[in-house]
A and B are shown apart, each in its own frame.
Chain A
Amino acid sequence: MSTLVQVKELSKRFGKLVVYEELNFGVQDGEFVSIIGPSGCGKTTLLRILGGLIQPSSGEVRIKGRPVKIALAARELGFVFQNPVLLPWRTAEQNVALPLEIVGSKEHVSTPRDLLKIVGLEGFENALPKELSGGMAQRVAIARALAFKPSILFMDEPFGALDEITRNRMNLELLRIWKEERASISSIIFVTHSIPEAVFMSDRVIVLSTRPTRIEETLTIDLPRPRTTAMKNSDQYIKLVEHLRKVIGDD
């Protein structure tokens, strides 16, 4: 395993407000890493800095040893946000086609139709976003993020707006998609505010503190893969969740 993402002495300030000071961590090739922390600690900003959408105040992010800008330009990074941001005038298929259209590349590996099939939305190609449920809309957003076969998927609370049943189903779906697309997607960096979700999905959980934000703890989740719903009853899982609750100070 080699280092895919390297974060070096990363700091971010908004005026006088110090968000992070000297964050250092890495994400290995093939790792599912969750970032969790109290609200207002800057999880969302951190994910956008890691993905090169926001500039840090100092320090740097390297992906496969190169500055993040290069990875972004090479379209090696895919993004899914909490809001699926589907364009309401486009059908599911046209939404998935959006990144390909913007880049104007004719030679892509998968067609939008194939991508929808991967996320389990075969037959919904012509549906408009207003006709899709929250879970389905997020599936379209995932399909769209897969358009360039990214090597890292950045996800910002992707299932945070969904009800619990749909969220649990989408968690399993994401793990299935990740497994099936492993040839391209090596790692997923996942921001969440749900401790059980972080434990269930991840190989490693990075816990952020309140501001000024530091890394409070990095917890390795050694539950076997593939993860199953039954594991949520295991002592190991329950202990990990309890431990994280204590670290975050969640009552």
Chain B
Amino acid sequence: MLQPESLQPLFNVKTAKKGIEVIGVPIVFSLGIFAIWEMIVVAFSIPTYLLPPPSMILTELGTNFGSLLGHMGLTMLEATAGYALGNATGFALAILFAHSKYIEKGLYPYAIALKTTPIIAMAPLLILWLGTGFESKVATAALICFFPIIVNTVKGLHSVDSDAIDLFKSYRANRFQVFTKLSLPMALPYIFSALKIATGLSVVGAVVGEFVGANNGIGYVILVSSYHLETVTMFAAIMISAVGGITFFAVVSLLEKKIIYWQKGIETT
């Protein structure tokens, strides 16, 4: 007969195998892509200002790491501050929407107008109002996060099963109890789906703000290096900004798994 103990090592081998597949396979692939990239650049003698080889980008990353990280740190600070602001106000507004049809009908068109106006079109105005410093970047990041959280929170709060509402009615639960014990937890998967989308968007918002007017930040580095044809620096900055966005996404995904332990995250919008 099989003992549970004898199954244990088998299970570990299985998880280790899965870990290799999830992390190892993409690494092998990217190493392959870098190798091909390097070979193409050398073989066709592509000028560095058009496409630098990965080895040069890596060297650039190594030598200027401190400075690049400093700029990226600022951009992430702007992005996360905007993320917090945009999601908090969007969430609060969504709760208002869910509780009052009139507020929803009156304000929803403006939320859509805000969504359809390109963020890049509004960035100059925000710089004009808030200056070239930290605040204007927080504002662009906040604006871009605003719409997904509103739509998904409203959708999530409305996703409650009518039998569940009847059940709470039969206990004569008040609105606050229905909200905290039923609607809000039911909406969490929807809310987290918006929170995950907003991670990448908030970095975009901050970088766009930096493009339009800034003296530092990773967007500023990318813009200046493009003026000076410092393509190597530009690539290094792009890679760092990608890592920043991915890390932000990974952190929020991890939080989602911890908080919504009772079901798999659903993708919406």
Contacts and interface: CB of A to CB of B under 8 A. Distances in A.
8 contacts: A53-B170, A78-B170, A83-B161, A83-B163, A88-B262, A102-B168, A102-B172, A103-B171
A198 interface: no
B5 interface: no
A98 B185 CA distance: 14
A128 B262 contact: yes
Interface string B169-190: 1111100010001100100000
Interface in A104-150: 128-130
Given A87-B182, A98-B181, A128-B262, A79 B161 contact: no
Contacts of B173: 102
Nearest to A154: B170
Interface of B: 161, 163-164, 166-173, 177, 181-182, 185, 260-263
A150 B122 CA distance: 60
A211 interface: no
A165 interface: no
A91 B103 CA distance: 36
Nearest to B166: A53
Nearest to B178: A102
Contact of B167 (A85, A103, A128, A129): A85
Contacts of B169: 53
Given A102-B168, A128-B262, A130-B263, A81 B163 contact: yes
Interface residues of A, number: 24
B181 A85 contact: no
A101 B177 CA distance: 10
Interface of A: 48, 51, 53, 72-73, 75, 77-79, 81-83, 85, 87-89, 98-99, 101-103, 128-130
Contacts of B261: 89
B169 to A, nearest CB: 5
A48 to B, nearest CB: 7
A85 B168 CA distance: 10
Nearest to A51: B170
A53 B262 CA distance: 29
A130 B167 CA distance: 20
Contacts of B171: 75, 98-99, 102-103
Contact of A72 (B163, B164, B172, B177): B172
A88 B104 CA distance: 29
B184 to A, nearest CB: 11
Contacts of A128: 262
Given A72-B170, A77-B170, A130-B263, A102 B181 contact: yes
A49 B132 CA distance: 63
Contacts of B182: 87
Contacts of A98: 171, 181
A94 to B, nearest CB: 11
Contact of B166 (A81, A103, A129): A81
B263 A88 contact: yes
Contacts of A51: 170
Given A73-B172, A130-B263, A48 B181 contact: no
A16 B261 CA distance: 46
A2 B45 CA distance: 99
- Among all A-B residue pairs, the 10 with the closest Cβ atoms: A81-B163, A89-B262, A88-B262, A85-B164, A102-B171, A102-B173, A85-B163, A83-B163, A99-B171, A79-B170
